[in-house]
Amino acid sequence: MYKKPQLRFFVVLAAFLAVFLVTGNSADAKTASGKGVTEGRYFVESKSVLIKSLFGVQHDFSGGFTSDLTTGEVWTLEKIFKVNVIEVPLYKINAVSSDTSATAGSIVTDAVDLISGADQKAKEREILPDSQIPWGVKKVYGDNVIFSTNGGKNVNIAVLDTGANIKHEDLSARIKDCKDFTRGPVPRSACEDKQGHGTHIAGIISADGGTDGKGVWGIASEASLLIYKVCRNDGTCWADDIASAAIYASNNGANIILIGLGGNADNFLMRDASAEAVKNNVLIVASAGNDGADKGSIDFPAAYKDIVSVSAFSEEGTVPDWSSRGINDGDYIKESKEIEFTAPGENIESAWIDGGYRYLSGSSMSAAHVTGIAAKLWNGVATSTDAKLRKIARDVWTIGDDSSTGFGIPIFPRTVESD
């Protein structure tokens, strides 16, 4: 439901008249009248059909709805309609940008150099991956000489991100559903990725090498992907879009949800959506963030209890300076702001939006690795699968649980096979 122009005109007019009438003795009115037309996303605590019609609905939730509002409209809702309005935070994808990846250790290869831009369409197999089995896949498989991967059959993984290139040779057979949650209350059957992040982490999870076997392989190459676009093309993501997609996924067959994004702001919509998913036996994996080495720098929603939070690890055996940390240095007590696992997250090669491949770094890449591992271990129960992840985790930093790497990197014993 979008704003009706004629109704919006009368709402603004009414607000203007109200400000005019009280401007002589109301400091609040003066503040409101001087705010201009800055727009943001807000949760409106109302179920009124009239208010929804006047201001438009982005998503419906229990107890209210979200909408894109100007500061003047917020004032009108609060002062004229006497409705409580709460700002919705804007999160961002957890990948190191191309401008800063060099400082994080990212490398540029011939395969990347062939890509002149996101809109350039790669011809069939003119661009091949540098390595069909990237170093992160070899690491978690505990095998440096593997030629392909398997696992995750009949497991549905919801990827809440920038969308994906569903025609990519190495992903097309893995896509089971595709929806866009960024453009209104009804998810649309579209998930075009114009940013690249979603395509990249989808490839890490379950790329299958393509029909010709010449492409890249992900961790669980038999898993099914539910691609749910919750981020805009600039990589920013409204919390209500994410929450709506998480609720939808948990009620429509998802076994695992990957959230490779985050921010510093807690949000009740995200908390409630996460709790509903966990109640529905869904395992949620989230990236810890790229906010640096300070304790407690872990992002939301990875900081929530019952969410599997993942930090980044490098091929050289170090924790990158940019990888977020938790706050616990003792026994694992995940009340908040804790790292549960670490995984490969630096210089990771995977699928790209032009049909080729690219290297990215970030805790999103790490979370994608753990998501793929969880898909291979999935036994029908989220908590039991999490326990399996802990069981195969190996210390890579300090002995026991620590604030940088948690229990360590989950690595398959050679005897672990797909169901």
More confident residue, 154 or 399: 154
pLDDT (0 to 100) of residue 404: 92
Predicted pLDDT at 10: 53
Taking the C-alpha atoms of residue 351 and residue 89, their distance in angstroms, rounded to an integer, is 29
Q: Which residues contact 77 (CB under 8 A, 6 or more apart)?
A: 44, 51, 55, 69, 83, 85
Query: pLDDT tens digits for 381-414?
Result: 999 999 999 999 999 988 888 899 999 999 998 7
For residue 50, the surrounding DSSP H or E stretch is helix 49-55
Task: Look at residues 168, 148, 211, 157 and name the one whose alpha carbon lies nearest to residue 371.
Answer: 157
Section 344-353 average pLDDT: 97
Q: What is the pTM of this model?
A: 0.86
Give me the active site residues, please.
161, 197, 364
What integer pLDDT is reported at residue 322 of this predicted model? Answer: 95
Q: Is residue 1 over pLDDT 60?
A: no
Tell me the C-alpha distance between 68 and 75, whole Å: 13
Backbone angles phi, psi at 52, to 5 degrees: -60, -40
Asked whether the predicted pLDDT for residue 121 surpasses 60, the reply is no
Mean pLDDT score across all residues of the chain: 85
Give residue 23's pLDDT. 31
> What are the structural domains of the chain?
5-87 (no CATH), 92-410 (3.40.50.200)
CA pair distance 175, 177, nearest whole angstrom: 6
Length of the chain (residues): 419
Query: Where are the extended beta strands (E) located within 163-234?
Result: 175-180, 224-229
Angle between helix 363-377 and helix 197-206 axes, rounded to 10 deg: 30
Q: How many CB atoms lie within 10 A of CB 319?
A: 22
17-76 tens-digit pLDDT: 444 333 333 333 333 333 445 689 999 999 999 999 999 999 999 999 999 999 999 999
For residues 99-127, average pLDDT: 38
Residue from 396, 391, 398 nearest 408 by CA = 396
**Which residue(s) pair with 65 in the sheet?**
44, 60
Q: Which two tokens stand for residue 325?
A: 């940390």
Q: 124 falls in which pLDDT band (50, 70, 90)? A: low
Half-sphere exposure (Cβ direction) of 276: Cα atoms closer than 13 Å:
19
pLDDT in tens, 279-299: 999 999 999 999 998 888 999
The predicted-structure confidence for 300-327, as pLDDT tens digits, reads as follows 999 998 999 999 999 999 999 999 998 8
Mean pLDDT over 154-165 rounds to 98
112 pLDDT above the threshold of 80:
no
Indicate if the pLDDT at residue 189 is higher than 70. Answer: yes
Per-residue confidence band for 118, with pLDDT thresholds at 50, 70 and 90: very low
Q: What pLDDT is recorded for position 25?
A: 33
